[in-house]
Amino acid sequence: MWHKFNVRQEQINLASAFVFYTFVTTFHQSFANMKILITGTAGFIGFHLAKSLLDQGHSVWGIDSINDYYDTRLKYARLAETGIEQSSIEYNRFVSGSRYPDYHFAQMQLEDREALEKLFDEVPFEAVVNLAAQAGVRYSLENPHAYIDSNIVGFINLLECCRHHRNVKHLVYASSSSVYGTNEKIPFSENDRVDNPVSLYAATKKANELMAHVYSKLYGIATTGLRFFTVYGPWGRPDMAPILFTKAILSGEPIKVFNNGNMSRDFTYIDDIIKGVVKVIQYAPQGNIPAEIYNIGCGRPMQLMDFIHTLEDALGKKAQMTMLPMQQGDVYQTYADTSKLQGRFGYKPQTDLKEGIAAFTRWYKEYYCQ
C-alpha cells in the first residue's frame, strides 16, 4: 500500500493536525513488507534506519562504500550489530544478515553506475533512502574531489536509476542544515534563502536539492529532502563533537572549543530522527512537481557550553578546554523550525539532552572502554 501526500494542501490547524497524526499512526501499522534500498547503512543514521525498518518487517537492501573517512572498525561494528560480518562482505555482492534474514548488504559505491543499474534491474524497490555521502564540513576544505564524486556523481546515478525504474514510488535523501550557511534569521525555515553556503559540503547538499527538484519536475519522481541538524547518539560518528569531547574528557586531554564556546547547535537524538524519517518515507509528495523539503531537528538549540557541561555531568569528570576562534567553513548557530514536519506528520522529538547524553555515554563506555 502506498499513500501520497498532497504538497499543495493548506497549512493544517492544530485540530486537523491531530486527525492527520492519528491517520499516520493507523497507517503505520500496515506499513510493512516493502522493498527498501538504503544507501550508507554502515554509517550512523543509515545503520539506525535499517535496523528500525527491519524491526518493522520490511526487506532492506543496504549499500555502503565503507570508505576510510573515519575508522572503518566502527562501520564494520555497526554492520555486525545487524548480523553482517566483516569477513562476508565483498564488493558488489549481497550477503544476508544472520540477525535479519531480510537484510541484504553489499559494499558498493554510488559512483559505480553499472553496479547500481544492475541492482535496480534485479530488485523492484518501492522506496529509496539516500544517506550515503561524503560527510564533514571541515574535511571538504581539504578533499573537495571526494565530495563531488560521492555527493554529486553518486546522486545523479541514483536519480537516473529511479527515473528508469518506476516501481520506485519515493526517493528520500539526506540534505543538511549546512545549506543555510550564514543565514541570520532564526529559526531556520524551509522558506529561507539558501544560496550562501560556506563550505563545499553545503554546496553539494544544496545541489542535491536542486537536482531532485528537476527530476521531480521533468519526470514526476516523488522526492523528499531532509535537512538534518546536529544528530547525536549511540554509534555516532567519531569526527563529531560528542565522541571527540568524550574521548578527550575521559583521557584528561583538552577539548577544542571553537569561537570561544559562543556557538549553539540544534542537537537531536538519533531515535527521534529515525522516527521522523520513517514517517516521511511512507508519504510520497504529489502534484505537478512532487518534491518536498523538510527540516528535521530538535527545534530547541543549545549553547555549546551547556552541551559540554551536560556531557561532564554524565561522565562525572570536568573538561579541560582550549578556546579557539571560529573555524573556516563553520557557522555560529543552527536552529531548526520543524513546524512543517510536525504539522504534516506529527513529528516532535521526545528525548531531552540529559537523557540522550546519558544513553550516548553508556554506549561509548561499552564500545570504547571495554
Domains of the chain, each with CATH number or no CATH: 3-233+267-300+336-350 (3.40.50.720)
Percentage of residues in the chain with pLDDT exceeding 90? 77
Percentage of residues in the chain with pLDDT exceeding 70? 90
CA distances from 208 to 116, 154, 172, 202 (A): 18, 10, 11, 10
Q: Is the pTM of this model over 0.85?
A: yes
Range of weakest confidence among 16-20, 55-59, 134-138, 224-228: 16-20
* pLDDT range class, residue 253, cuts 50, 70, 90: very high
Catalytic positions:
201
256 vs 162, which has greater pLDDT? 162
112 closest CA partner among 145, 160, 46, 74: 160
Residue 10, pLDDT > 60, answer: no
The 10s digit of each residue's pLDDT in 282-291 is: 999 999 999 9
**What pLDDT score does 329 carry?**
64
What type of residue sits at position 307? F
293 closest CA partner among 332, 337, 330: 337
Q: How far apart are CA 6 and CA 3, in angstroms?
A: 10
**What pLDDT score does 3 carry?**
52
Residue 205, pLDDT > 80, answer: yes
**What pLDDT score does 368 carry?**
96
**What pLDDT score does 11 carry?**
41
Neighbours of 145 (CB within 10 A): 9
Residue 7, pLDDT > 50, answer: no
For the chain, what is the mean pLDDT?
Answer: 90
Paired sense of beta strands 302-303 and 264-265, if any: antiparallel
CA distances from 291 to 151, 153, 217, 223 (A): 19, 20, 8, 5
Residue 223, pLDDT > 60, answer: yes
The single residue listed with the C-alpha cell 540534505 is 175
Q: How far apart are CA 224 and CA 277, in angstroms?
A: 10
Q: How far apart are CA 13 and CA 343, in angstroms?
A: 8
Q: How far is CA 180 from the centre of its chain?
A: 16
The 10s digit of each residue's pLDDT in 64-81 is: 999 999 999 999 999 999
325 vs 174, which has greater pLDDT? 174
Q: How far apart are CA 276 and CA 108, in angstroms?
A: 26
Mean pLDDT value across residues 122-143: 89
**What pLDDT score does 27 carry?**
33
Residue 154, pLDDT > 50, answer: yes
Range of weakest confidence among 9-13, 220-224, 243-247, 364-368: 9-13
**What pLDDT score does 31 carry?**
63
Q: How far apart are CA 202 and CA 329, in angstroms?
A: 9
Helix, strand or coil, per DSSP, at residue 350: coil
Paired sense of beta strands 223-228 and 170-176, if any: parallel
**What pLDDT score does 123 carry?**
98
Residue 4, pLDDT > 80, answer: no
Question: E-strand spans in the chain?
Answer: 3-6, 35-39, 59-64, 95-96, 103-107, 127-130, 170-176, 223-228, 231-232, 254-257, 264-265, 268-269, 283-286, 291-296, 302-303, 320-323
Contact indicator for 110, 157 with CB cutoff of 8 Å = yes
**What pLDDT score does 135 carry?**
82
The 10s digit of each residue's pLDDT in 98-107 is: 999 999 999 9
The 10s digit of each residue's pLDDT in 317-348 is: 999 999 888 877 677 778 899 999 999 999 99
**What pLDDT score does 173 carry?**
98
The 10s digit of each residue's pLDDT in 26-45 is: 333 346 689 999 999 999 99
**Backbone φ/ψ region at 349: left (φ over 0), alpha (ψ -120 to 50), beta:** beta
* pLDDT range class, residue 309, cuts 50, 70, 90: very high
